[in-house]
Amino acid sequence: MEDRQFRNAMGNFATGVNVITTEVDGDVHGMTANAFMSVSLDPKLVVISVGENASMLEKIRKSKTYAVNILSKDQQELSMIFAGQIKEDRHVDFEWLADLPVIKGASTQISCEVVNEHVEGDHTLFIGKVVDLKLKDCSDPLVFYKGKYTSLEKSGVAI
């Protein structure tokens, strides 16, 4: 099977867009990610998947913590900053939730402690125990579909 065919198949699954944040030795690092899901209600667990070439990988291994920041439709620029799609350095404001940096204005912020890690192929799955969360704003989410940013509004979905 061609990589392109696999990517196209996965791209047919529409997702939200998150920025994963963590802090190591006083430096805040962020990375755009859509590989995220809720795993368990009791205990409250989530999972993210981080590529082997991402600098975020070693940072989470060191900090043993991460936060998930769910973006809304007006935050595409933030997604592009933390995916390296905007090359110039940009200043981003962070606030703190359970001692973790979180993105100001994200619709939801979820702070986690890593309780398990599984290397699978070229990605590592980090299971996170949710230690705190804040629902800031339930506006239209930023959506990623077929390799492009979109929103429910643009897709004609009533919300």
Give the interface with ligand FAD as residue ranges (CB under 6 A). 17, 28-35, 49-51, 54-56, 79, 81-84, 89-90, 92, 144
**Nearest residue to ligand FAD, using CB?**
35
User: What single string gives the DSSP state of each residue in 12-60?
Assistant: TS-EE-EEEEEEETTEEEEEEE--EEEEETTTTEEEEEEETT-THHHHH
Q: Which is nearer to ligand FAD, 42 or 122 (CB)?
A: 122
CB of 141 to ligand FAD, least distance (A): 12
CB of 100 to ligand FAD, least distance (A): 13
Handedness of CA 4, 6, 12, 18 (dihedral sign): negative
CA 39-44-49 angle, 5° bins: 40
Q: How far is the CB of 16 from ligand FAD (least distance, A)?
A: 9
Of the pair 95, 158, the CB lying nearest ligand FAD is at 95
Smallest distance, ligand FAD to C-beta of residue 103, A: 10
H/E element, 11: helix 3-11
Which residues lie across from 108 on neighbouring strands?
A: 70, 135
Cβ closest to ligand FAD, residue 50 vs residue 102: 50
